[in-house]
Structure 1
Amino acid sequence: MADPWPQEYAFVDCEATGLAPEARLIEVAVTIVRVARHGDRIEERWSSLADPGIPIPPGVSALTGIRDADVAGTPPPGDAAREALRRAGGRRLLAWNAQFDAGLLSRELGEKVEILDAIEVAQLLFPDAQEFNLPGLALSLGVPAGGHRAMADCEASVAVLDRLLQRARGRGLADDLRTLEAIYAGTEWPWLAWIRARLEGAAEPMPAGAIEPGGTGDRQPPDAFLDQMFAGDGLLARRLKGRYEPRPGQVEYAREVEKGMREARSLMIEGPTGIGKGLGYLAPAVAWALRERRRVLVSTDKLVLQDQLCRQDLPLLAAASGLGFRWAVLKGRRNYVCPAAIRAQIENLGLLSPIEDRDALAYLALFARHTQDGETERIARAVKHRRPGVERLLPDVVAGEGPCIPGRCKDPRCFLTQALRMAATADILVSNHTLTLCWPDSYPSWDAVVFDEGHTLEDAATNALTSEITSAAIRDTAVRLIGRTGKEGLAGAAIRAGGGRGASEEVARAVQSVRAAAQALSDFTPPFAEAVAAYVREWNPNADELGPRALLEASIDPARRASPSWERLGRAVSPLGDLLSGLESDLGQLLDTLEGEGRNPGSGAVGSRLAGLLREVSEMRRILEGILTPARGTSPVEEACYLAASRGAYGALRAVPVSVAGLIHQRVLARCPAIVTSATLTLPSDPDYVARRIGFDRLPPERRLPTRAFPSPYRPAETSLTLVATDAPSPEDAEAFAEHTSDVAAGIARILGGRTMILVAARARIERVADRLRRRLEGDLITVLTQNDGGRANLIARMREDRRTVLIGARSFWEGVDIPGAALSAVVLERIPFEFPHDPVVQARRRAERDAGRDEFVDYTLPRALLLLRQGAGRLLRSHADRGVVFLLDARFLKKGYRDATVQALPGGRILALPLTQALQAAERFLQSHGLVRPTTIPP
């Protein structure tokens, strides 16, 4: 057992000249913390600046406020670090993200400094949090953030841990401790003692169980329901008590949706930001479901919208209307963790089990105890990064695996069972596009569907229908059977299920065959990856210039299938089919043997996990067969694009659908009325683009209503100004264009004092732009953040909190980022976001357009890019009070045939083209006219 936690410990925090290994210390702080019954208390504080002997980078100065003049005459880094440890007085050291602080202090002192990382315990105390960096977690807990100064960060760290402990006591910290003691038995894990020291006065755990949403009240909506709901003095107005104002177009939008459902006719309807789209389709959907005693499915692309519908819009609609409708969220079964499966994993831990597995199980166990819905997509990316075992163990602890057999799981907290039970009585189901397009027969059916974020349907269907076989999947399949050091695999569990040492010879032989087949599969992982890499590199002659971490892809088209390189690849990977087939046969034999023995109750759980793995192996074999010999494979899509991908030791073979229109039409559009909606669903230059891509145009005229596109209620022609600099260099000159991007962004950021978002078309260019921009804004005390600095929600919150901020993001930030108000007054679009032309899937889709007699650029490439351009520009106006400017940096379109189409896709359908200096002056005058800046920043 670990030593008792001392009554005092020390929190340390450092600021440095950067994150690289050669970075030097510029500030260090230490707080002496005393353990107290009602919250730990800071007893002593000490901090010191340090002169690094090198210039402090502008970005660091902007972030911390520490400048070269501030550190002049202060102790050298080594002396400051040594004094910090002296002040700590030999106490146990803690830090937030301790790897950085421990590495920095160790380098400055020339000796190893041991520091415990507070993030490790924070992830266990708040397992359903989405941010674990200090500013993000502090913000979510209502604790003042540290502001990137050492002492402030120390104080914030202590306050955050104290707040986390308060939450944990209210959620059953004593039960959590018992779980952790079982997982870390026989180890010296120090945080057990830390938790024990704080257990006095801990509250009883909160009762488990899902909240039943809705369900009480009248189930018959009145005839004039929509009018009563949205009127200026209607149901919503009375519920919101002065916080409601009618939205132009919302009632008409809702009536169009209601008409489509009533007449069983599908509809594509564009509802721009501000029209009230969510309630606009939910109100008629609820009314139709109750009147017709039917069920409506609302399908979205992103989790954040699902949360908004279920936690805000649907509860508001129920409270305002008084209608007793029910709603439920439903995901695919492998999207839920199962507590019973997690307990089975804990019981299988041995004394030699690696700490990585224990850390993963500790998190998963507490996540299952404290999350309301058990959805795996709520596991933060930061958790998977810090605990890599989580990703590896998830396949064994999701619903439907191990002891969690659908329909028969006995655990009262089984999230899948709860979700299915609630869905069975729901009038409104909320799900995601992927599940909607691959709906299981065992799930409750639905009679109409609303696709929100409908512009993403093609990509969602593409991802759902892409099949692949990867070196990682091959290795992980083998490891799950063989096991890792100190942890038995499924094969060992099968021996125990068959009687342990007393297992029959038949069971022992079957297990031995499975182990041998799994080992052979594991041994084949490197040759598979190497063969794929050789093929990919042969078709990417510039691979060496891109570096070892670049993801390289190469198509496997009919012409290349006749090449020697494909012959070599096929010959190299074809043994994998025999290995998978052999393992498939051996697993089947083992399952039959266990079932025949039936001596151990545990064989049911082991058998279920083995059966799940058998299905995965069979699917891998079918995918490989379909890629190597397409004529023999079976595919639900009309045509597939085959490709190989490689990065380092990773290799993959993929089959990606070229068109998903037929499948979306067959699985959804042809069987029930569908409302497809989005803020960006049409283009003035090509209003039917999305309809073609998702198969909507295949519906006969009598089955669909005319497409509707409502205007923005924010009057973008009056409230925004879109500009382009006519003297911009070509993006083909990467260095000159990066300088231009930074010049424009710096000019706008100075005018506004921050409040700017820069959207680049490729993630690789983020840091290039950020470095230049930080140098330009060195003296302006404007913080430059990138999407690499934290999760989206945290970055948005930081921008709202500190307006002197510039945020740089790539493709994922072009949509779904919502920053209303004065925190964002300028959006800089690096270029029109055309897809990478050498992407094998893009090439296949362009070829399909040509084969269909269409223009590949006009009918596919351009409208796809312009839809994303509309999304990016749409980040600016998010409320009626918003005003601002949009800058498009790539001016090449001004001399292209698609100039008019581009301009029509931008806010207000107009653009002001001027040389850069004049463009910045015009932007400043516009912002001044709306009271957003003071005169004058840009010289005349």
Structure 2
Amino acid sequence: MAAVEDVFSPTGLLSKTIQGFHPRQAQVDMATAIELSLKKNTQLVVEAETGTGKTFAYLSPVLLSKKKAIISTGTKNLQEQLFHRDLPALRDALAPEKQVALLKGRANYLCTHRLQQAVSHSGELSKDLQQQLVQVKQWAVRTRSGDVGELNVLQEDAAVLPHVTSTVENCLGRDCPDYDQCHLVKARKSALEADIVVVNHHLFFADMALKDVGFGELIPAAGAVVFDEAHQLPDIASQYFGEAVSSRQLHELAQEIKLLYLTEVKDLRQLDSVGDKLISSLRDWRLAFPTDPQRGNWREWSQHEPVIAAAARVTESLELLQQVLKSALGRHQDLDQAYERCVLFMQKWEQLLSTDRTGFSFWFETTARQITLHQTPLSVADKFGGYVRASEMSWVFTSATLAIGESFNHFTEQLGLQDAQTLRLASPFNFSSQAMLCMPRFLPQPHEREMEAALLDIARQVVDANPGGTFLLFTSHRMLQRIAQQLEAFTDRLILTQGSTSKRELLDAFVNDGKAVLLGTSSFWEGVDVRGDALRCVVIDKLPFASPDDPLLQARVEDCRLRGVEPFTKVQLPQAVIALKQGAGRLIRDRHDSGVLIVCDNRLVNKGYGKTFLASLPPMQRTRSLEQALEFLKNTHITEATDVTDITDITENTEA
């Protein structure tokens, strides 16, 4: 079997079989390090900046290895891109005999049993839901995978999807009459037989959490795991090592109970009344919190009298529902399964009401209609690090943003990676000629009222000067909306605002227009790949420190203080540096790109910690003069079209 270094040589397999392939040293260094990790079952952390070709660098040694491997990505979209585009191209060149499989969480697969239930009771659904159900039913006859991602006629969050997919709580498992035809079961079987399984981080940690209590079997045993976009892991792992209960989950349980009364156990009228009682208590529970969506400290809010009273009514409703369901055990399998779900929810609910335990952040988040309680561990280092050390596997963690300056300590300590080897690979792009960083003079402080007018003025000047497209990235929705409303009066360019339609549609419109202005918050700071003149300038409103009101941040800060550690440098600064690196990374995505990054925050220059941010950014030209930055923007143009056949460039797409 060929060595990885030979595969990447100018006369190697990739150069011979993949049109437009150009080997680069950073790519070879990364692939060689991963090859060694696979052989020795070690932990490897790699920061591979944009343009290094990290996708090919980790796929190649995995394909050449004899080990079964799991590749985990940051998002479902990146997961699909990897499986449908990047992996087939490399597999055909290096290991055509290898079997690969795509595996998603159960909520991504059609449940034929629940579809039949929904169709049989469609008269009780709204007209919109009935129309969506017809589309699902028509597609269900054609689909082979059952992956609802194929349903392009529906939005990603279509209201019908919870009615035709399953959750851990409502899945009947082997008791399901459609078990032999279950799309999820088929996908899991395919994964068990595959040499390489492509998953996403949420699925990986959901399964790992189940393994911890002896039930995980979704992700098959493997000899190697590769995490792409690994900077997301600490926060995602925290979610799955904690507990959460939402009013939506409880509301769905109540609705299903009422439906069972109407269809299967019509003599058990008490089911209908206890379902109504739970729905009513959940409505009161939501009304005990402010109308506007927010996140808050549950330890504090759980002491408010209206919240205490509303929570007590939910507890009473759940207890009554549990008693009624228990008295009806054996009447119907869906009723038995609902009882098990009710018991589980009751256990979690009681746990989340007990907020006096240490080592956790207790917090809530609300939407217009729902509320979710969370219990999140302050650290996953012991659990995840222990899991890694106990395994006899190779673990690879890679992203364009993992290090703070030259140090990986922040990342490795969060995940408990005590024995990890680290590698930092710089981008091959010529940032000093391709890009300029501007930190405008004479700006107000970020918290001052005058900042809004200053941001609007900079945005107006940039749009006037920029021959291509512009990203305006914000740290708050409020500022985004205020600038968006005012900017339209100053330009006839297409203004695209996050939230007005789906992210996919916004990006498609932005690229197709070529000189549009897109205003976005956190989800546009990473996982977006726009090349060429379509994106020539990125404006960031301020350094992306987490909100001091964020309950998880508050808990981590308090924990640092209790341990005698300075929380700003340990928690707040590293998170902000990684976020700024992600935002800055939207600008230069190709060796032919050019453009300007403008950071509208004087703290980057006049605070000591500004040096930490600057040391983590690419080596662009720097200026304090907005006029100089605008001249650079006007006078530097792409002189050569991007070669779309260069797959090594295309594989850097991390679109989410």
TM-score normalised by the chain length of structure 1 = 0.63
* Matched residue, 1:713: 428
Q: How do 1:301-340 and structure 2 match up within 5 A?
A: 301-340=74-113
SS in 1 for 2:329: helix
* Structure 1: segments with no counterpart, 5+ residues: 1-221, 483-488, 497-507, 538-547, 595-606, 933-940
What is the CA–CA distance in structure 2 between the aligned matches of 1:353 and 1:767, rounded to whole Å?
35
Structure 2 residue corresponding to 1:618, chosen from 343, 355, 362: 343
Query: How far does residue 422 in structure 1 lie from its aligned partner after superposition?
Result: 0.7
Structure 2 residue corresponding to 1:627, chosen from 337, 341, 352: 352
Query: How far does residue 512 in structure 1 lie from its aligned partner after superposition?
Result: 3.6
SS in 2 for 1:907: coil
What is the CA–CA distance in structure 2 between the aligned matches of 1:349 and 1:777, rounded to whole Å?
48
The 8 Å contact of residues 818 and 875 in structure 1, kept in 2 or not, is answered as yes
What is the CA–CA distance in structure 2 between the aligned matches of 1:560 and 1:225, rounded to whole Å?
59
Q: How do 1:59-458 and structure 2 match up within 5 A?
A: 222=1, 224-241=2-19, 243-288=20-65, 290=66, 294-350=67-123, 354-371=126-143, 373-376=145-148, 383=155, 388=159, 390-394=160-164, 397-398=165-166, 405-406=173-174, 410=178, 414-439=182-207, 440=210, 441-443=216-218, 444-458=220-234
* Matched residue, 2:601: 890
Q: Is 1:492 the equivalent of 2:262?
A: yes
1:270 alignment partner AA:
E
Per-residue displacement from partner, 1:256-297 (whole Å, max 9, x unpaired)?
111112111101111112111112111112222x2xxx4211
Change (3 A) 1:670 1:882: farther
Per-residue displacement from partner, 1:418-446 (whole Å, max 9, x unpaired)?
20121111111111112212325333222
* Matched residue, 2:525: 814
What is the CA–CA distance in structure 2 between the aligned matches of 1:922 and 1:442, rounded to whole Å?
55
Query: How far does residue 679 in structure 1 lie from its aligned partner after superposition?
Result: 0.9
SS in 2 for 1:366: helix
2:415 alignment partner AA:
I
Q: Is 1:752 the equivalent of 2:466?
A: yes
SS in 1 for 2:436: strand
Query: How far does residue 847 in structure 1 lie from its aligned partner after superposition?
Result: 1.2
The more displaced of 400-409 and 712-721 is 400-409
The 8 Å contact of residues 438 and 629 in structure 2, kept in 1 or not, is answered as yes
Per-residue displacement from partner, 1:223-273 (whole Å, max 9, x unpaired)?
x331342222222222223x2111331111011111112111101111112
What is the CA–CA distance in structure 2 between the aligned matches of 1:380 and 1:462, rounded to whole Å?
32
Change (3 A) 1:900 1:370: farther
Please tell me the root mean square deviation across aligned C-alpha atoms, in Å.
2.9
Query: How far does residue 742 in structure 1 lie from its aligned partner after superposition?
Result: 2.6
Change (3 A) 1:657 1:378: farther
1:577 alignment partner AA:
T
TM-score normalised by the chain length of structure 2 = 0.88
What is the CA–CA distance in structure 2 between the aligned matches of 1:880 and 1:665, rounded to whole Å?
38
Q: Is 1:693 the equivalent of 2:468?
A: no
The 8 Å contact of residues 468 and 533 in structure 2, kept in 1 or not, is answered as no
SS in 1 for 2:538: strand
What is the CA–CA distance in structure 2 between the aligned matches of 1:372 and 1:770, rounded to whole Å?
44
Structure 2 residue corresponding to 1:474, chosen from 250, 260, 263: 250
Structure 2 residue corresponding to 1:763, chosen from 466, 477, 483: 477
Change (3 A) 1:378 1:742: farther
Q: How do 1:435-584 and structure 2 match up within 5 A?
A: 435-439=203-207, 440=210, 441-443=216-218, 444-482=220-258, 489-495=259-265, 508=267, 511-531=268-288, 533=289, 548=291, 550-557=292-299, 565-566=303-304, 569-584=307-322
Q: Which has the larger radius of gyration?
A: 1
Q: How do 1:871-882 and structure 2 match up within 5 A?
A: 871-882=582-593
Per-residue displacement from partner, 1:280-328 (whole Å, max 9, x unpaired)?
111112222x2xxx42111112112111210112111121124311111
What is the CA–CA distance in structure 1 between the aligned matches of 2:448 and 2:91, rounded to whole Å?
56
The 8 Å contact of residues 226 and 284 in structure 1, kept in 2 or not, is answered as yes
Change (3 A) 1:880 1:570: same
The 8 Å contact of residues 685 and 901 in structure 1, kept in 2 or not, is answered as no
What is the CA–CA distance in structure 1 between the aligned matches of 2:167 and 2:371, rounded to whole Å?
29
Change (3 A) 1:581 1:326: same
Per-residue displacement from partner, 1:512-542 (whole Å, max 9, x unpaired)?
44334323322322332234x2xxx6xxxxx
Q: Is 1:920 the equivalent of 2:630?
A: yes
Query: How far does residue 345 in structure 1 lie from its aligned partner after superposition?
Result: 2.5
Change (3 A) 1:251 1:645: closer
What is the CA–CA distance in structure 2 between the aligned matches of 1:832 and 1:797, rounded to whole Å?
27
2:163 alignment partner AA:
L
Change (3 A) 1:789 1:579: closer
1:358 alignment partner AA:
Q
* Matched residue, 2:495: 784
Q: Is 1:723 the equivalent of 2:438?
A: yes
Change (3 A) 1:278 1:747: same
* Structure 2: segments with no counterpart, 5+ residues: 211-215, 642-656
SS in 2 for 1:418: helix
Change (3 A) 1:430 1:899: same
Query: How far does residue 852 in structure 1 lie from its aligned partner after superposition?
Result: 2.7
Change (3 A) 1:675 1:356: same
The 8 Å contact of residues 337 and 415 in structure 1, kept in 2 or not, is answered as yes
SS in 2 for 1:642: strand
